[in-house]
Structure 1
Amino acid sequence: MPPQNEAPSGSSAALAARYGERYRWLLLLSVMVGTVAAIMSSTVVNVAIPGLSHQFNLGQARAQWVTSGFMVASTVAMLTTPWLLARFGYRATYSGCMWMLLAGGLLGGFAQNFPLVLAARVAEGLAAGVVQPIPALIIMRAFEPHEQGRASGLFGMGVVLAPAVGPSIGGLLVDWFGWRSIFFMVTPFCIACLYLARRYVPVTAPGGAAASRDEALDWVGLTLGTAGTLCLLNGLVALSGGPAWEAGALLALAVLSALAFVAWQRRRSARGQAPLMDLALFAWRPFAMGSLVALIYGTALFGSTYLLPVYMLMGLGLSATSVGGILMPAGIALAVVIPLVGRLADRQPTRLLVNIGLSLLALSFALMVTIGLQANLWWLMVYCIVGRVGLGFILPSLNLGAMRGLAPELLAQGSSVIGFVRMLGGAAGVSLCGIVLEWRLAAHGTALTDGRHPAARLAAFDEVFLMLAALCALAMLAARGLSQGSRLTPPR
């Protein structure tokens, strides 16, 4: 047993004593590497969808589940992050996720049939979902309020390198080595993260307490959340291709699951049991409005992340390498902007920064309709840059605006919940874009694989981009309720 005045080995206090002032930045670097791996596994697979479709003879709906399966698993897994951290601590939870992400990448790369590819994507999604709320929690706990914007900006700059560099490298790998090489991209990141986690990530739970094995996971709540998410996404898919009764039944089940989930969480709280989602969070208006912004923003962001590569590959007929080349400058612009905005978030109202970002993102979507089959692709690159600059304003500001003012004991739940609603919007956004695209293609009398009507195919894409612009405009209304300053009094 260590002396009473000495912190237990592996705790955040002991690691801070060992590494000094730089420790919080080393910890931030450690979780950043893992988050880069998680985000890369989410986004880079989009450039491989045509190759996967050809390899396994997939239709649009089945190919879309390569992305949607990841999103569903990631969305539901986020709800378990607070429980896992409390039960196993930061290090065991984080390292376990990296092992799962590594295993998913290897399984997907060597898979010989589509069910194995889908299983690999689900495993990657589960790992990514647990990991992604952790950095926001660390920033809110390890950094002083006047440093949180800077830390968010630096963290965001590192994280955005994944979608900036990932599609470009991914496009080259697909052209040179085929779609399987995409799955192996996460391997070096996972190995690096396992090393960093062993050195810098504390073994303790949030707040510095020892991990406790007493509280059982809320399996009923997790089952209801999973059922509701699956019914929602399958109901959206059925809207486009299935019978009306099937779509109606699935969407009704999604609503019933959501109501049952809320009722169950209230019941657990009344009994003094830890809920999977603490509904007390939504009594804090900035958090409630931030969650609404995150939901709509996630729908537009992840829907466009799926749509843009498909638009360039199958709407404009570009190669995977060209797609990567067009997206790379936009990613670099985002990496430059995000730390600058992070510093602004320590001094400027977060709702102002979020609204600027949403305005630029909406503008970039609206400008896509000006790209024609004979248009100069430099303009396409410029419009992508405008959208990524908008993201640079949103990413460091949204979590801070929603979570500043929450009581310390609610931070883990807050980070998990806002990540959950963002990913729920993202999962719905991917399905929504696919559904609306198929609907508009049919309305224009064409299909993605129809090479005879390129102008009609492009018009369908344009209409989906306008829908995304409208969603961003809607999110701007909710963003008015975010925190106005950097320091708030906790709700009483």
Structure 2
Amino acid sequence: MNPSPSPAAAPAMSSLRQRYGERYRWYLLISVMVGTMASIMSSTVVNVAIPGLSHHFSLDQGRAQWVSSGFMVAMTVSMLTTPWLLGRFGYRRTYVGTMLLLLGGGIVGGLSPNFSLVLLARVAEGLAAGVVQPIPAIIILRAFEPHEQGRASGLFGMGVVLAPAVGPSIGGVLVDLFGWRSIFYMVVPFCLLSLWLAYKFVPTTAPGGVTAERSSRLDWLGLALATTGTLCLLNGLVELRAGAPWHSALLLMGALAALIAFIAWQKRLAGAGGSPLMNLSLFGYRQFAMGSIVAFIYGTALFGSTYLLPVYMQVALQLSASYVGSILLPAGIVLAMTIAGVGRLADRQPTWLLVSIGLALLAASFALMIVLRLDSPIWPLVLFAVIGRIGLGFILPSLNLGSMRPLPKALIPQGASGINFVRMLGGAAGVSLCAVVLEWRLAAHGDSLANPATSAARLAAFDEVFMLLAGLCALAICAAWQLRPTKAPEPDPAVPPRPTR
């Protein structure tokens, strides 16, 4: 069952507009941007603390890695619950609840006397991060007029990029000065600020006049199937990396079985008039279906390259960690500037064209890596990283807009959570995919990462993985071209179109 308009919903927004004027929608966007930055920071900055945490609790690599993996699984799955939470409790209560959970996870993680409590705190943070991340896209599509949505996406994207860019650097300083526990406290000031902004600017209902739907029930079976499938997929890929093909095959078959059961259950629940976790009628919209394919491949390439590039620079090119950070800094600055500019372009240019340009640039940045050799200067590496970040800057503000603009307003929350879920699932798989292919190609070239010396054969193995990522991006361009709007809107059999407010 989808939320429906209510006469009580409009005053919740109109009173805030009257109080704060025409700029209110920007205040609302900044309010949720702060919370999203906190959630993204909590996902990336903890990697800096893993060595100290492992030493403190005497953990092996496998157990320590669950600090990141537990967060990732919880965040990926909880994204599917965002539409139900918004419909059941309204925007302010949902947003405040996620910020309190993120705040509690940070405090408990920093005070934890044992690793089990640290892991529980990380799962709690992941749950909060997953729920909050689709909310800004929903607000942009509901609170902003079509000609302002690109600029709003650019502003939001530029702010969110700062979190993973600045967070690890600040985190490294905190770990050196105060130890690994200080990493968990980094989210505290952001959460407190976001709570203050929420009570000031976030409406109790939703932008666009949708009220809370108290009678709906959460699809617990669908959530259990999605969780099982995600866990099987990620653990199957980890087992593949560990050289256990039979264990990996069983887990990946379990992931496939969970996917089939999930789709069957969602169809059955929707047919019975219930509220499925994912409204499969979304994929009846060609632009959304193609956007989901782009999001999955984009997530695979983005997260895979985030793992691969630092490893390449340190292990293949023998650069120091601090040098790697300085090389990637110009690319981060260019990314923030590109997002701001492309956001304005998205209000005037077709989003499918901007996404296609971004994917082409991203593919080119990966393909160009093969020209580098052990004696190559550093500037081409910096240039290729900048080209890739310009590509990301074209994709980030445009993909959600191009995928979800055709959806009726009642389906926008489902669309935002669905496309974020697909992107994160692709990202989680991308890291393992790159690691597995890299180890395979290193073995084929007679090398191993355990060997401290680098060689031309090692560079050749990395080059082949970069070409794989370039090929994935080129494949995504084919789907991106299908983001072009149709001449007539496609009907939704489950949700009748509503007039634009």
Correspondence for 1:366: 367
The match for 1:491 is 491
Q: Provide the residue aligned with 1:286 in structure 2.
A: 287
Change (3 A) 1:48 1:310: farther
Matches within 5 A, 1:220-369: 220-369=221-370
Equivalences for 1:98-137 in 2 at 5 Å? 98-111=99-112, 114-137=115-138
Distance 1:221 1:292, change over 3 A: same
- Is residue 97 from structure 1 mapped to residue 115 from structure 2 by the alignment? no
Deviation at 1:299, TM superposition (A): 0.9
Residues 198-207 or 23-32, more deviating: 198-207
Paired with 2:109 and 2:116, the residues of 1 have a C-alpha distance of: 10
Compared CA separation, residues 430 and 62, structure 1 to 2 (3 A)? farther
Shift of 1:10: 8.4
Residue 30 of structure 1: CA displacement?
0.4
Deviations 1:117-155 (A, max 9, x none): 433332222111101110010001001111111111111
* Superimposed CA distance per residue, residues 174-221 of structure 1 (whole angstroms, 9 cap, x where no aligned partner): 455554443332222111111111110111146434423321100000
2:481 alignment partner in structure 1? 480
Q: State how far apart, in whole Å, the 2-side matches of 1:192 and 1:34 are.
A: 8
Counterpart of 1:300, as a letter, is A
1:45-194 → structure 2 map (5 Å cutoff)? 45-49=46-50, 61-111=62-112, 114-194=115-195
Q: Deviations over 1:15-45 (max 9, x none)?
A: 1221111110000000111111112222233
Give the match for residue 43 of structure 2: 42
Offset at 1:454? 6.0
Residues 274 and 255 of structure 1: CA distance in aligned 2, closer, same or farther (over 3 Å): same
Of 155-164 and 209-218, deviating more is 209-218
When residues 111 and 50 of structure 1 are mapped into structure 2, their CA distance, relative to the original with a 3 A threshold, is: same
Alignment of 1:336-415 (within 5 A): 336-415=337-416
Q: 1:329 to 1:107 in 2, by over 3 A?
A: farther
Q: CA deviation at 1:113?
A: 5.0
Cα offsets for 1:102-124 (capped at 9, x unmatched) = 22233444445544443333222
1:310-330 per-residue CA deviation (whole Å, 9 max, x = no partner) reads: 444455454444333222221
Give the match's secondary structure for 1:346.
coil
Aligned length: 487
Alignment of 1:456-467 (within 5 A): 457-467=458-468
The 10-residue stretch of structure 1 (67-76 or 365-374) with the greater mean CA deviation from structure 2: 365-374
Q: Secondary structure of the residue that 2:266 maps to in structure 1?
A: helix
* Residues 159 and 350 of structure 1: CA distance in aligned 2, closer, same or farther (over 3 Å): same
* CA 1:117–1:367: 2 relative to 1, 3 Å: farther
Is the Cα–Cα contact under 8 Å of residues 35 and 159 in structure 1 kept in the other structure? yes
- Does 368-377 or 402-411 show the bigger shift? 368-377
Partner of 2:205: 204
Code of the aligned partner of 1:276: L
CA distance in 1, matches of 2:32, 2:193: 11
Query: What are the equivalent positions in structure 2 for 1:419-434 lying under 5 Å apart?
Result: 419-434=420-435
Q: How far does residue 160 in structure 1 lie from its aligned partner after superposition?
A: 1.2
CA distance in 1, matches of 2:115, 2:439: 22
Once the 2 structures are TM-superposed, how far is the Cα of residue 418 of structure 1 from its aligned partner? Answer: 0.6
Give 1:267 deviation, angstroms: 0.9
Counterpart Cα distance in 2 of 1:380 and 1:23 = 43
In structure 2, distance between residues paired with 1:308 and 1:80 = 33
Q: Which moved more, 1:115-124 or 1:345-354?
A: 115-124
Q: Look up the SS of the partner of 1:80 in the other structure.
A: helix
Tell me by how many angstroms 1:458 deviates: 4.7
Instruction: Report deviation, 1:488.
Output: 7.1
In the alignment, is the contact (CA less than 8 A) between 1:235 and 1:247 conserved in 2?
A: yes
Please state how far the C-alpha of 1:53 moved relative to its aligned partner.
5.5
Q: How far apart, in 2, do the equivalents of 1:201 and 1:457 lie?
A: 52
TM-score by length of 2: 0.89
How far does the alpha carbon of each residue in 1:323-350 deviate from its partner, in whole angstroms, 9 at most, with x for none? 3322222111111111211111122121
Compute the displacement of 1:484 (Å). Answer: 4.5
In structure 2, the gaps of 5 or more residues are 1-5, 493-501
The amino acid that maps onto 2:484 is S
Larger deviation, residues 220-229 vs 11-20: 11-20
Counterpart CA distance in 2 for 1:284 and 1:6 is 29
Shift of residue 62, structure 1, vs aligned partner: 4.7
Could you tell me which amino acid in structure 1 is paired with residue 43 of structure 2?
S
- Counterpart secondary structure, 2:466: helix
Q: CA separation of 1:420/1:243 partners in 2, compared to 1, >3 Å: closer, same or farther?
A: same
Give, as a single letter, the amino acid of the residue that structure 2 aligns with 1:21: E
Post-superposition Cα deviations, 1:71-128, rounded to whole Å, max 9, x if no partner, equal: 2211100000000011111111111111222222334444455444433332222111
Change in Cα spacing, 1:47 to 1:22, as seen in structure 2 (3 Å) is same
Q: Is the 8 A contact 1:168 1:321 kept in 2?
A: no
Q: Classify 1:186/1:460 alpha carbon distance in 2 versus 1 (closer, same or farther; 3 Å).
A: farther
Which moves more between the two structures, 448-457 or 239-248? 448-457
Corresponding letter in the other structure for 1:409: A
Give distance in 2, aligned partners of 1:200 and 1:222. 31
CA 1:314 to 1:411, structure 2 compared with 1: closer, same or farther past 3 Å?
same
Letter matched to residue 19 of structure 1: Y
Counterpart in 2 of 1:26?
27
Matches of 1:66 and 1:455 in 2, distance apart? 35
Alpha-carbon distance between aligned partners in 2 of 1:489 and 1:266, rounded to the nearest angstrom: 23
- Change in CA separation of 1:108 and 1:326 when aligned onto 2, cut-off 3 Å: farther
Query: Would the aligned equivalents of 2:143 and 2:207 in 1 still touch at CA under 8 Å?
Result: no
In structure 1, the residue corresponding to 2:435 is in which secondary structure?
helix
Given the superposition, is the C-alpha separation of residues 172 and 361 from structure 1 closer, same or farther in structure 2, using an over 3 Å criterion?
A: farther
Amino acid at match of 1:283: G
Identity of aligned residues (%): 67
RMSD over aligned Cα atoms: 2.7
Letter of the 1:362 partner, please give it.
A
TM-score normalised by L of structure 1: 0.90
Q: State the 1:222 CA deviation.
A: 0.3
Match of 1:216 in 2: 217
In 2, Cα distance between equivalents of 1:373 and 1:147: 47
d(CA) in 2 for partners of 1:458, 1:230? 33
Contact 1:35 1:131 survives alignment (8 Å): yes
Amino acid at match of 1:282: F
8 Å CA contact retained: 2:9, 2:211? no
Change (3 A) 1:53 1:169: same
Moved more, 100-109 or 282-291: 100-109
Code of the aligned partner of 1:324:
G
Residue range with higher mean Cα deviation, 53-62 or 267-276: 53-62
Amino acid at match of 2:288: F
| Equivalent-residue separation in structure 2 for 1:124 and 1:74 (angstroms) | 8
Equivalent position SS for 1:203: coil
